[in-house]
Amino acid sequence: MNDKEKYTELVHRYWEAETSPEEEQDLARYVAGVDDPDFDEIRGVLGYLSFGRRKRGLKNRTVRRYSFAAAAASLVAVVVIGLSLLTSKPYSIEDFCVSYAYGVQTFDNEVIMASVESSLADFFAGDTPAETQLIEMFQR
């Protein structure tokens, strides 16, 4: 059994809640390192879960029991989000602002937005690079 077959089976077991925490970590490491579209969905889910755990500082996976009401609420959320996606404006559950500089995360939103504005200004303010060079040549 090659790696893809092995991890495809692991994905199936994950959806059935049959994987251990160690297997989930192994699966997360694998899907993060491959560029296979078959694993896009599980990659998205595991990435979102990983971000949430890191944000809350959770170290141990806790087993949660979902009641029928929680499942129904999830279904309603899916329907609402699905309807929202049909509208012109994409739905976003949460705004976020994140920056990494060579692997180190920046938490200062003001610094991040200042860099965003600077980057946008490079493209949308005034002259293109070639025009700028021409102007500088004539100004010498």
Would you tell me which residues interact with another protein (CB under 8 A)?
A: 14-17, 35, 40-41, 44-45, 47-49, 66, 70-71, 74-75, 77-78, 81-82, 85, 88-103, 109, 112-113, 115-116, 119-126, 128-130
Residue 79: CB atoms within 10 Å: 10
Residue with Cβ nearer another protein (1 or 21):
21
Q: Are 11 and 33 in contact (CB under 8 A)?
A: no
Q: Closest separation between CB of residue 1 and another protein, Å?
A: 24
Which has the closest alpha carbon to 30: 52, 1, 3, 60?
Answer: 3
Nearer to another protein by Cβ, of 58 and 113: the residue is 113
Q: Which two tokens stand for residue 33?
A: 């390192």
